[in-house]
Amino acid sequence: METAATDNSSPAASPHSNAIALWNPNAAALWSIIFTPLFGAYIHALNWRALGDDERERASMTWVVGAAAFLLLFLLIEVVVPNSRAGDEASRTIEFVFLVVWYFVAARGQVKVIQARYGNDYARQSWKKPLLMGLAGFGIYIALVVAIGIAIGLRNL
């Protein structure tokens, strides 16, 4: 590989001495199974920013906006079609399809870029803050679903 001559990852070099810190893009994709692609796309956007790729960062932020729109759609489905098995199935199907499309269209590309540039030898960002934010976002979403359910229940009294 031609970049090997300029690569600072030789055994004699201090590991990660000049490396930028990134989140593992595979881990971000896996966490997206729990926290939705909004989470993974945002982590990927931050990675693209750290890599200095403004165009791909903007593309990842487009996925963030799309994922947020889908979450709002799921809330709307809960309001319009309460206690509906069809609504729940539609939401799960849409979310699964969005996750798969996001992974193959966007996330896998970052995995390949980071693997090609750094292999497994890059400084790692801590997952503590993103996972706490993901849990907080999940909690807010659940609170909204419960609040909507209560509002629907009160309206039907």
Domain assignment present for 141: yes
The mean pLDDT value for 114-126 works out to: 93
Structural domain of residue 104, as residue ranges? Answer: 20-155
Number of domains in the chain: 1
Domain assignment present for 27: yes
Domain assignment present for 7: no
Q: Write the pLDDT tens digit of every residue in 12-26.
A: 333 444 578 999 999
Q: What is the DSSP letter of 126?
A: P
Please choose, from the candidates 72, 42, 39, 35, the residue with its C-alpha nearest in 3D space to the C-alpha of residue 60. Answer: 42
H helices of the chain, in order, are: 25-51, 54-80, 85-102, 108-118, 128-155
- Are the CB atoms for 110 and 45 separated by under 8 Å? no
pTM: 0.80
Q: Write the pLDDT tens digit of every residue in 72-109.
A: 888 777 777 766 777 778 778 888 999 999 999 999 99
Domain assignment present for 40: yes
Domain assignment present for 13: no
